[in-house]
Amino acid sequence: MRNIGYARVSTVEQSLDLQLAALKAVGCHEVLSDEGFSGADFNRPGLTRLLRSLQRGDTLTVWRLDRLGRSLFELLKLIRDLNERGIEFRSLSESLDTSTPAGRLMLHVLASMAEFERSLISERTRAGMAAARARGSRIGRRPAMTPEQRQEARVALAEGSVSVETIAAKHGIHPRTLLRVLKTDVAGQDAAA
């Protein structure tokens, strides 16, 4: 049963001293850290090493939740994964400790808030896209080829005068993209008939 700490600062100009002192004060046997890494990126060398080294019965301790990550949804996913592996989690500033009933309750409340936040974002995104469509805006990437270019490609391929590769190169697309576009056109015509 080890108590292992994790500390992070976003820039190398910032200091880990406050976090390290707090983690040592609560009995962390070892502290892994990342300097100059954003909390939005969970692919950090120190965090990766830490997560690999944790074993059932260990406790991961952080000074503040945002030192582990910025996204509440991703944070909660990580904490759930730890708990499923039999690893407890503790955040000193938020007094969150998953080894206690109160800490587990707090985790569930945070999970509900994260789910609510994701629902709101999704709802706002759908509403924004609907409003953009109503204004006549196109949603998504622009088509690989105009209708005229597609017709020209179909005729050239039917005549056998040029290869798929030549037509694709002329329009600056990959040959598979050309074939997909033309196949989609045919499928659309079949559905309309």
112 is an active site residue: no
3-class SS of residue 10:
coil
Q: Which residue has the higher pLDDT, 70 or 171?
A: 171
Strands 59-62 vs 88-91: parallel, antiparallel or unpaired: parallel
pLDDT tens-place string over residues 96-106: 999 999 998 98
Crossing angle between the packed helical segments 147-159 and 175-192, to the nearest 10 degrees: 100
- Which residue in 10, 33, 38, 53 is the catalytic one? 10
Does residue 65 carry a pLDDT above 90?
A: no
Contact 30, 44 (CB under 8 A): no
The domain limits of the chain are 3-111, 147-188
Under CATH, which architecture does the 3-111 domain have?
3-Layer(aba) Sandwich (3.40)
- Please choose, from the candidates 55, 58, 94, 56, the residue with its C-alpha nearest in 3D space to the C-alpha of residue 75: 94
Count of other CB atoms within 10 angstroms of residue 62: 26
Percent of the chain exceeding pLDDT 70 equals 96
Q: Strand runs (DSSP E) across the chain, as ranges?
A: 3-9, 30-35, 59-62, 88-91, 96-97
pLDDT tens-place string over residues 24-63: 999 998 999 988 888 777 889 999 999 999 999 999 999 9
